[in-house]
């Protein structure tokens, strides 16, 4: 049964209950960015889309992005995001707004800056070294087909140590993380379905509830230990994980209720913020590394140019990496930017209208959800000088060196840009450099055909490479 479109904006007539999810193949794993790209070609730069019963207006020009993301008083937290993440992490930055958001932001944003992450440089290197050693232990001439899972396991361990000072490898904690993440992924993809269904899904999902209970217990144990340590020894020799750094911000629920100017986070708020940071940092970074390996296997000249830059900076396998040394690598930055632009990690950025408005002659009503087609802007020939449908890192040294604001939206923009983007950029660059010190990725032929699989992010569907382990 099909329903009528609302208003004059073009789009595909939605089906009852499923909206456009079933008829376009999203529920079967087709990525959103592909569907929205086809919709743009058919309907133009503005069209309707239905996540279940939730209507969304999709805007796909850079001018749209600049207007929507640059006017925080007109466009704030998306109702769709608030509803979905409100079920998973109701007290996190992604699910709150107003004075509560400002209180959380004052605590969380400084925690996720690069200066807080640099001390973990060797931790990240050690985790990647373990991954490289795992690959070395495979038989020679081995076709590696488990790259995505390997990247996810490695990045999950990195985030686990940074957030909890806990090695997740071969522990019950890794199962708890994976269970909660897999259930969260399903719920996010079905975010347009009625809220009561999401609540029932989480409440009666035993895997999710067990994992959540174990994670809460572990974080509470860290909090108690850190509080006792501070009581006994003050702030000296304090633990350096994310949870322990946030302990000093803890306040009681009744303090917040009785004084709305009170600063800090309650215990439940701290849990939601930490776990959201884990989910966001793990998923996006692991996906980007998987795409990096895929593209390096397909573009060996780019891979060799990275290695050439390392040699020009006298970076060998014996070089101890530092933040300053990694910062000097300009071409690696270009490769990262091209990954952010080209790889379809995040299909869109959403907001909700706070009052009536008009964009390009389109009437916007208060409460309407508007969404910016990230991938469409990243591949817009009106924005990029060099062919945006080609993977060309050199564009950021040449014609596209000074690309316009809002042309790159992997981490969003405006006051609700990704809080952990400093962590992600530093972590990803360090991982890329470490991999390129030791490994050359070689195309796995027909098994390395790419393709896309929609999760929270879009991962490579078919990724298979050979590896040559460099000797110098």
Q: Which residues are annotated as a binding site for heme?
A: 418
CA–CA dist 81, 87 (Å, integer): 10
DSSP 13: P
CA–CA dist 302, 265 (Å, integer): 45
Beta bridge partners of 450: 462
Q: Is 46 helix (H, G, I), strand (E, B) or coil?
A: strand
DSSP 314: T
CA 255 to chain centre: 33
Would you list which residues are annotated within the binding site?
418
What counts of helices (H) and strands (E) characterise the chain? 18, 11
DSSP 10: -
Cβ atoms 65, 413 nearer than 8 A: yes
CA–CA dist 230, 144 (Å, integer): 47
DSSP string of 161-213, one letter each residue: HHHHS---TTSHHHHHHHHHHHHHHHHHHTTTS-HHHHHHHHHT-HHHHHHHH
For the chain, the helix, strand and coil percentages under 3-state DSSP, each to the nearest 5: 55, 10, 35
CA–CA dist 14, 125 (Å, integer): 48
Q: Please name the residues in contact with 183: beta carbons below 8 A apart, sequence gap of 6 or more.
A: 201, 202, 205, 207, 208, 211
Cβ atoms 13, 5 nearer than 8 A: yes
CB atoms within 10 A of CB 321: 16
DSSP 316: -
């Amino acid at each position: 049964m099909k329903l009528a479109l609302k208003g004059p904006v073009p789009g595909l007539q939605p089906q009852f209950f499923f909206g456009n999810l079933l008829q376009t193949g999203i529920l079967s794993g087709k990525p959103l960015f592909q569907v929205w790209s086809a919709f743009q070609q058919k309907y133009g730069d503005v069209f309707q889309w239905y996540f279940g019963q939730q209507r969304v207006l999709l805007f796909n020009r850079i001018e749209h992005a600049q207007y929507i993301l640059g006017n925080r008083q007109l466009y704030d937290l998306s109702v769709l995001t608030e509803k979905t993440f409100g079920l998973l992490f109701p007290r996190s930055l992604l699910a709150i707004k107003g004075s509560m958001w400002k209180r959380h932001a004052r605590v969380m944003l400084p925690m996720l800056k690069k200066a807080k992450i640099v001390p973990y440089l060797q931790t990240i290197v050690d985790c990647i070294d373990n991954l490289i050693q795992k690959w070395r232990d495979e038989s020679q001439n081995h076709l590696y087909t488990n790259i995505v899972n390997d990247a996810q396991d490695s990045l999950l361990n990195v985030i686990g140590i940074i957030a909890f000072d806990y090695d997740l490898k071969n522990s019950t904690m890794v199962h708890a993380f994976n269970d909660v993440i897999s259930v969260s992924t399903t719920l996010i993809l079905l975010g347009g379905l009625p809220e009561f269904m999401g609540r029932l899904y989480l409440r009666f999902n035993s895997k999710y509830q067990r994992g959540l209970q174990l994670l809460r217990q572990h974080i509470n144990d860290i909090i108690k230990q850190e509080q006792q340590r501070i009581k006994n020894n003050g702030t000296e020799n304090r633990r350096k994980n994310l949870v322990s750094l946030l302990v000093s911000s803890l306040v009681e629920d009744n303090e917040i209720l009785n004084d709305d100017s009170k600063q800090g986070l309650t215990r439940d708020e701290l849990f939601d913020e930490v776990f959201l940071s884990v989910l966001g940092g793990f998923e996006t970074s692991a996906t980007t590394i998987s795409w990096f390996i895929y593209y390096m296997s397909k573009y060996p000249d780019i891979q060799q140019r990275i290695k050439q830059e390392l040699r020009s900076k006298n970076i060998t396998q014996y070089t101890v990496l530092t933040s300053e040394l990694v910062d000097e690598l300009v071409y690696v930055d270009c490769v990262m930017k091209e990954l952010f632009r080209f790889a379809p990690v995040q299909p869109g950025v959403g907001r909700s209208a706070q009052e009536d408005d008009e964009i390009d002659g389109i009437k916007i009503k208060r409460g309407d959800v508007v969404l910016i087609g990230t991938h469409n802007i990243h591949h817009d020939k009106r924005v990029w000088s060099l062919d945006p449908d080609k993977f060309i890192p050199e564009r950021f040294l040449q014609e596209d060196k000074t690309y316009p604001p809002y042309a790159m939206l992997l981490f969003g923009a405006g006051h609700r840009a990704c809080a952990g983007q400093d962590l992600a950029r530093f972590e990803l660059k360090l991982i890329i450099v470490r991999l390129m010190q030791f490994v050359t990725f070689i195309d796995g032929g027909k098994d390395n055909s790419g393709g896309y699989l929609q999760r929270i992010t879009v991962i490579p569907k078919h990724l298979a490479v050979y590896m040559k382990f460099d000797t110098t």
